[in-house]
Amino acid sequence: MDVLAHMRVFRKVVERDSFSKAAQDLNQSAAAISKQVRQLEERLGTVLLVRTTRRMSLSDGGRAYYLECCRLLDEVDALELATRGCAGKVAGRLRVNAPLSFGLKVLSPLLPVFMARYPDVRIEMTLDDRLRDVVGEGYDVSLRIRAALADSTLVARRLGDVEQMICAAPAYLARRGTPRLAQDLHGHDCLAYRLADSPGVWQLDGPEGASSIVLPVRFSADSSLLLADMLVAGIGVGALPSFVAAPLLASGALVRVLPSHGMARRGVYALTPDGRHVQEKVRAFCDFLAGALQPA
C-alpha cells in the first residue's frame, strides 16, 4: 500500500467534497478512489469520512488527519521542488474564501494584478460573509474582517485594517434630525450587520468618552452591500466598512453621522490551515494583499 498516494487521494476527496470529482481530477474511477480511502481507514483503524446517501463529512479524527495530511504532503512536495531546483515557484490552484462585499469592492480590482504577476496560479474564489470550514472544505486562505478572532487551530495573519463609518442618507437626516451625541441614536431607526461580533451594539469612543450603545434595530442583514442599499434608501442610521461607505460618501448618497465618534477598527485577517510549511502561492497571495492594503 502506497500510503502517500492514498493520502493524496484522501486529500483530493476532501477538497473536492466528492469521490466522483476527485476521480476525474486524478484520472481514476470513483470505485478506485473509494477503495483507496477505505483501505486508508482500515490501515488507521478509524473512520475518516462519514458517508450518507446525501452528503459526506469529515469525522473528528478525519479532520485532524486531513490537516496532518496537508502538512506532510506539502512538505514532501516542497522537498521535491527544492531537489529539482524549483523551490520558490508560485504556481498551482489557490482556493480563497472572502466576504462578499470585500471581494467585490476590494479584491475585484486587485486580483487581475496578482494574476498578471503570477501567471501560473489558478484561483478559485468563494464569496461568503459567513466563516467557512477552512480545513474541511479545503481552502488555502480564508479572508475575514473582524475586531477580534476566536481561538482556533488556524494561523491568522493581519493584512490590514478597515474603518467602520456611521452613515445615513441626507433625506433621512432631514426627516429625523442628525444625531449629535452617541445617546441620540436611541431616538433613531438603526441598521445592524447581523454577523458582527456584537450585532445591535456599538462601542463608540467620542468627546464624551467611551460608550456602549444598544441600538434600536429596525433592519438587520448579513450583507454590508444590502445594508448600504437600505441606508441610501433612507431607512435609518448604520455602520459600513470604509471600502463600502467611501464611494457613497463621495457621491453624496450618504453622509457621515457622529464623525467625532470612532468605532474599533477591524482587522483584515488571512486564515490558513496550521502547518510548518507555507506554500509559496499562499505566501505570495498574502504578501501581495498586505502590500495593497497598507495605507499609502
d(CA 236, CA 188) in angstroms, rounded, equals: 7
**Annotation: CATH topology of 164-264:** D-Maltodextrin-Binding Protein; domain 2 (3.40.190)
CATH number at 92-160+267-293: 3.40.190.10
Tens place of pLDDT per residue across the chain (296 aa): 788 889 999 999 988 888 888 888 888 998 999 999 999 899 989 999 988 777 788 888 888 888 888 888 888 877 776 666 555 678 888 999 999 999 999 999 999 999 999 999 999 999 998 888 887 788 899 999 988 777 677 888 999 999 999 999 999 999 999 999 999 999 999 999 998 888 889 989 888 788 888 999 999 999 999 999 999 999 999 999 999 999 999 999 999 999 998 888 899 999 988 755 668 899 999 999 999 998 75
Whether 92-160+267-293 and 164-264 share one fold: the answer is: yes
> Using alpha carbons only, how large is the chain's radius of gyration in Å?
23
d(CA 63, CA 228) in angstroms, rounded, equals: 38
Q: Could you give phi then psi for residue 263, rounded to 5 degrees?
A: -110, 155
Handedness of CA 116, 289, 16, 38 (dihedral sign): positive
What does the domain layout of the chain look like in residue ranges? Answer: 3-84, 92-160+267-293, 164-264
SS3 157: strand
**Annotation: CATH topology of 3-84:** Arc Repressor Mutant, subunit A (1.10.10)
Handedness of CA 175, 180, 182, 183 (dihedral sign): negative
pTM: 0.71
* pLDDT tens-digit readout, 228-283: 999 999 999 999 999 999 999 999 999 999 999 888 889 999 998 875 566 889 99
- Residue 29, H or E segment: none
